[in-house]
Amino acid sequence: MVEVETFTANAHAPQRPLPPTPAEDIELDKIKPFSELIKAREALPHQGIERRVYESAVGRIPTDSTQQLLIRLKTAEDAVVAWGIHRELTARGLPPVMRDRGPRCSRQHEFLNVAADVYWVVTKYPGHLTLFERARPVFRYAPGVEQWHKAVVFVYRMSAGQPHRVANALGLTDDMRRMLLVMGNRQQNYARRVLRERCDRIREELMSFAVAHPDKSGVTTAEDIVQRQIDVLWFYLHSGRSASVTAECMAAMTNSPMQRRMVTQHIARIEQRSATAERVLALPL
């Protein structure tokens, strides 16, 4: 069982320990740094089937489109391959909030999502000062190196495997947590739940309009138009209604530039065409 250690807060916060790891959660001890898992894969015989399958899956990551990577992530049962996809999506500027959590095959997969969030934060905010001193190695080491991976596992274990406790240990602000996959705050998680619950209805309303008013050029289908609107709406709400951040995220996902005014126009059209979206956008999320 992992020995519970006390995190010492920095000078900007009171000292307090993180809650101990539940005694019954022995699965936390089985969490491994992804650097260790990658080494194990690379040590497999070159001609073995497992090695060839792994190399094929990882080798396609740099050349796959962002949309293809997002689809692969939804069904990626191999956590090591999924980690490679998360790293590539971060390099392309697509925040974790727009990614799928993937299949929950094991506790390693749950840790995967937290690690992906931490990797994004460390990449975007390299000079951040953590709340707890013992969590500082997460920002001290370059993201992706072996020491960094071990530091993330340490914080995850000492946080009892709870994403919100990891976020607290790292001292993440609301703005930093806004674009994360599993480390959003309560208000952000509520906003995501509301949007998920009403997304089907919003899609139906937007589709009704798109079918009744098809693209005059005949190039873009109603389905493509609606999906783009849904993506814009999702980014817009999860970015704190920031048109500039939404434009950046859309550009990262589609590999096509988008201007802030285009986002504003999209949101205005969505409100006009979907009463449900209008109500969601009116909520203090």
Scanning 125-242, the segments in alpha helix (DSSP H) are 137-140, 146-158, 163-170, 174-178, 186-212, 222-238
The string of DSSP codes covering 73-132 is HHH---HHHHHHHHHHHHHTT--GGGS------SHHHHHHHHHHHHHHHHHH-TTPPPSB
CB atoms within 10 A of CB 231: 17
Q: What does the pLDDT look like over 197-244, one tens digit per residue?
A: 999 999 999 999 999 999 888 889 999 999 999 999 988 988 889 999
Query: pLDDT tens digit string along 57-91?
Result: 999 999 999 999 999 999 999 999 999 999 999 99
* Closest listed residue to residue 151, CA positions, set 274, 251, 5, 1: 5
Q: What is the pLDDT of residue 285?
A: 63
Q: Report the predicted TM-score, pTM, of the whole model to 2 decimal places.
A: 0.84
Among 6-20, 94-108, 126-140, 148-162, name the one with the lowest average pLDDT.
6-20
